[in-house]
Amino acid sequence: MLRLILTTLFASFLSVAVGQFVLTPINPEQSALVDACIAKSDQRSDFGVEPYLLEMKLLDSIFDADTKNWERREYNSWVMRKLKNEHLIEVHSDDFHLQGDAAFNLEGSNYLDAQGRRAYTNTRGYVFNGTIGKRIFFHTTFFENQSIFPNYMDSVVSDRGEFNEKGGSNFLSRGSVPGYGRWKSFTRYKSSYDYDYTLATGSFGVVLNRHSYLQFGHEKQFVGHGHRSLLLSDASSPFPFLKAQIGFWDNRITYTTTYAVLQSLERISDKGYANKENTFKRLGARFSYLSFQPSGWFSFGLFDGTTWTWRKNSSPGSIEYYSPHGWLYTGNGIRNHITGLNGQVTLFKMLQGYGQYAVNIKGSGQAAQVGLRLFGPIRNMNLRIEYNKVGQGFYFYAEDSTNTTLIDEPLQTGTNALDYYQHNDLMLGHPIGVALDEFIIKMNYRLRDVFANTSVNYIKLNSVSNPKTILNINVEAGYIINPKSNAQIVAGVIYRTETGPGSPELSTNYPYIAFRTNLFNRYMDF
C-alpha cells in the first residue's frame, strides 16, 4: 500500500508540465534585477534559498533590463552579436539548450602593496548552463585566478591560517579567498602575499514539477534576502552537495534539504615528500529550510544548519545525518547546530523589509539581522539598508568546552578549526565572523547599459583583545557590454579606514579599472 501511495505521488509530480529551467547567478547587477522582478510579481515560489531555479526565457528577459523603454541595437555581424547581444556559445533545439561564455576579470590598479608591487587580479575561465528535455538542467563554471590584494585583505586571506615552515622554506599552507577557496602562493616566502586560487562549480538536476527538484554537484548556496546571511552564505567556498526541494499547497509551503561535505584546512597527517597533498579533515553538514509563503508579498522560513563529526575514512556515524528531517536530534556527533528564522515582507511591490534571527543551540552565541530594500521609485534603482549583529562564539562549539571560552575572532588561536561552523577556514555565515556590529548601505542603479554601484560598510569588531572600527566605502561605475554574460568595463575605488584603541589609523585607497564578466559576488567589504 505504501509503495502504491509513493508511486502515485511521484507520478503526479512528473505529470505536471514544466519548461526549461536554469540556475540564477549570484552577482550584484543580475541578482538585483532578479530580486526586483520577483518583488513586482505575485508569484508564490521559494525565493529564500539562492541560486533560484527560473525558466531560461524569463531569466534572459530579466537581464535585458528596461528594454521596453529603449531598443538595444541588434547586429548582423556574428562577431558583434556575440560581443553585444548573445552568449558566446548558443545551441537551441526542441530537447536541448546550451549557453556558454568566456569568463574573465582583468583588474589593475596603481595601488602598491607592502612589497612595492601593483595590486591586480587576473581571472580566466568559462561558464556553461543548459537543459536536456524539459526536466534536466545543468551548470558548470571554472575560474583560474591570480591576485595581489590591498594589504587589508591579507589579514582576511592569510592571517587567519597558520604557516607550515619546514626545511628552511616558508610554505603557506592555510588560508582561503572569500567566495572562492584555498590558495597557494606564487613564491615560497610568506612575506610575498601573492595568491593563486581557483573556483570550480558544477551541478546536475532534475525538475519534478514547477516547485520541486533534485540536484547534486559542487556549488555555493545563500539563505536569506540580505547582502549578508547569518545562516548560510556564498562568501564561503563551494562544497559537494545533494539537494532536494519540494513544494506543497500551490507552493505555499516549501521544504529544502541539502546534504554537504565540508573540510577544514587541517590535514589528516603532516605534509611530507610523499604526501604533499594529503587529505584535509572533513565535516558532514546538512542544511534544511522550511518556507511558508501564504502570499507573493510575504514569506517566513525556519532554517536548520548542522555540522557533523566525520569518522576516519568514512562519513558521519549518526543515522540522523542521513535523515531529511531537521531541528530535533537525539543522537551524537553534531559539532555545531545553527537554527534560525528568516523572513521578508514586500509592500507596494517596491519596499521590502527582511530579517534573520539565529542561535547556536550547541554553543552559546546569537545573531540577528534587519534590513530594508527599496526597488525604485527611479526605474532600475535599488537601495538597501541593513544592520547585522553577531555575538561572541556564535559559529563555535567544542564538546569539551563549558561554554565559558571567549570566542571573539574567527579561528581563534588555541581552538580547533573543526569546532567552527566553517568550510575551508571560512565561516559559513557572516564572512567577517563573530563579535561584530555592522551597518550597510548599498545602492545599484542602471540606465540602459550604464550602471553605478555604491556600498558603505561600517563595522565594529568587538574583540576583547583586538577591538577595531572599520569604514569600507566602494564606489564604481561602468558599461555593460553584454547583458547575457554580464561582461562590463568598470572603474571604481575602495576607501577603507581602520582604527583601534592604542593603534594608529590605517587607511587604504584602492582605485581600479577592470574588464570583467561579473558572475559571482566578490567580497572585498571587510
Overall fold of domain 2-268+278-517: Porin (2.40.160)
From first to last of its 526 residues, the chain has per-residue pLDDT tens of: 445 444 444 444 444 445 677 778 787 777 777 777 777 776 666 678 888 877 777 777 777 766 655 677 788 888 888 888 888 999 988 889 999 999 999 999 999 887 788 999 999 999 998 899 888 999 999 999 999 999 899 888 865 544 333 333 334 457 889 999 888 877 655 556 788 899 999 999 998 887 789 999 999 999 999 999 999 999 999 999 999 999 888 778 899 999 999 998 887 765 555 555 677 888 889 999 999 988 878 889 999 999 988 877 677 877 778 777 777 787 778 889 999 999 999 888 889 999 999 999 988 889 999 999 998 777 788 899 999 999 998 999 887 666 667 888 888 878 888 889 999 989 999 999 899 999 999 999 988 889 999 999 999 999 888 899 999 999 999 999 998 888 999 999 999 999 988 788 899 999 999 999 988 888 999 9
Residue closest to 418 by CA, chosen among 268, 276, 305, 523: 268
Residue 167 confidence (pLDDT): 34
Is the CB of residue 291 less than 8 Å from the CB of residue 303? no
Residue 313 confidence (pLDDT): 65
Task: Report the mean per-residue pLDDT for the chain.
Answer: 84
- Cβ–Cβ contacts within 10 Å for residue 505, how many? 9
Instruction: Determine the Cα–Cα distance for residues 207 and 135; give it in Å rounded to an integer.
Output: 5
Instruction: Determine the Cα–Cα distance for residues 223 and 205; give it in Å rounded to an integer.
Output: 19
C-alpha cell at 521: 559576488
Strands annotated E in 249-327: 253-267, 280-295, 298-309
Dihedral angle of Cα 13, 14, 17, 21, to the nearest 10 degrees? 90
Is the whole model's pTM more than 0.75, yes or no? Answer: yes
Q: How far is CA 31 from CA 59, 173, 293, 520, in A?
A: 11, 34, 21, 10
Residue closest to 109 by CA, chosen among 122, 99, 96, 100: 122
The residue type at 4: L
- Residue 485 has φ and ψ, to the nearest 5°, of -90, -5
C-alpha cell at 456: 558603505
C-alpha cell at 278: 594529503
Q: Which residues, other chains included, contact 468 with Cβ-Cβ below 8 Å and sequence gap of 6+? A: 459, 460, 461, 498, 499, 500
- Residue 3 has φ and ψ, to the nearest 5°, of -60, -40
- Cβ–Cβ contacts within 10 Å for residue 453, how many? 21
Query: If 0-12 CB within 10 Å is exposed, 13-18 middle and 19+ buried, where does residue 433 land?
Result: buried
Residue 8 confidence (pLDDT): 42
Instruction: Determine the Cα–Cα distance for residues 265 and 286; give it in Å rounded to an integer.
Output: 20
Instruction: Determine the Cα–Cα distance for residues 176 and 184; give it in Å rounded to an integer.
Output: 9
Residue 11 confidence (pLDDT): 47
**Run of H or E residues at 181:** strand 181-185
**DSSP code string of 433-499:** -SSEEEEEEEEEEEETTEEEEEEEEEEEE--SSS-EEEEEEEEEEEEEEETTTTEEEEEEEEEEEEE
Dihedral angle of Cα 76, 80, 86, 88, to the nearest 10 degrees? 120
Residue 162 confidence (pLDDT): 43
Within 13 Å of residue 263, how many CA atoms lie on the same side as its CB?
A: 19
3-state secondary structure of 151: helix
- Residue 61 has φ and ψ, to the nearest 5°, of -70, -35
Residue 161 confidence (pLDDT): 43
Please identify which residue in the block is written with the cell numbers 552579436: 81
Beta bridge partner(s), residue 146 = 122, 196
Instruction: Determine the Cα–Cα distance for residues 410 and 408; give it in Å rounded to an integer.
Output: 7
The residue type at 298: F
Q: How far is CA 411 from CA 395, 432, 453, 490, in A?
A: 10, 11, 32, 35
- Cβ–Cβ contacts within 10 Å for residue 449, how many? 17
Beta bridge partner(s), residue 503 = 500
C-alpha cell at 202: 558544477
Residue 200 confidence (pLDDT): 92
Is the CB of residue 197 less than 8 Å from the CB of residue 177? yes
Q: Write the pLDDT tens digit of every residue in 168-203.
A: 333 445 788 999 988 887 765 555 678 889 999 999
Q: Which residues, other chains included, contact 422 with Cβ-Cβ below 8 Å and sequence gap of 6+? A: 236, 262, 264, 395, 410, 411, 428
